[in-house]
Amino acid sequence: MSRVAEAAGVGAGTIYRHFDNQNDMFVAALDAIFEQMMRPVEESHQEDALERIREIAHRHSRLMSVNGGGFAYPWMEFIAAGYHVGIRDAVADTQRRAFRVIRDIFEEGRAQGSIRQDVDTNLLTYEYLNYAWGENMTVLMGLDEFLAQELSTRMLEQILATAAVDNRRTDGAGAQHGGSGPE
């Protein structure tokens, strides 16, 4: 708490006026990180779900390329916090919320007809999140050249091509999507 108070430029007692305990403060910080994570989603305005996902991904890539990766560092600190900190469930819930947001976009794509009906949207969402997590880790490891080469963007395009109605896979690359999976 003293480190947080120092970083905020206030006394430790001031923090306790706003938060009942350390856990409440952590949850508030997680909510602020979640808002940053969702900014690319909120700023996307494409009607077509696949184009919206591409726009979100482009915004995520740009965010990872500037300002030291945006939310990547504080998010990783929460992920890496030990069990004793007591926020593991809150971190998992934050990621589940992000999962549902992206899955809903893919479900919308199925309803629009741009994503095949046989695609498991849970698996597709997990693959999308792996793309985003990969970009986050790339930034954290200082591998800016991978972002500059747009390797993650190319990987995402392979993933989306396997799910898109108008793209048929011929090269065997990318992940398999089958069945409707658990909803």
Identify whether 159 is part of a domain.
yes
Task: Enter the pTM of the model.
Answer: 0.80
Number of domains in the chain: 1
Q: What is the pLDDT of residue 132?
A: 93
Q: Domain of residue 97: give its range.
A: 24-163
Residue 44 lies in a domain: yes
Assess if residue 153 is contained within a domain: yes
Query: Residues with Cβ < 8 Å from 159, sequence gap 6 or more?
Result: 124, 127, 128, 131, 174, 175
CATH number at residue 76: 1.10.357.10
* Mean of all residue pLDDT scores within the chain: 84
The 10s digit of each residue's pLDDT in 131-179 is 999 999 998 898 888 888 888 899 999 999 999 997 544 333 444 444 4
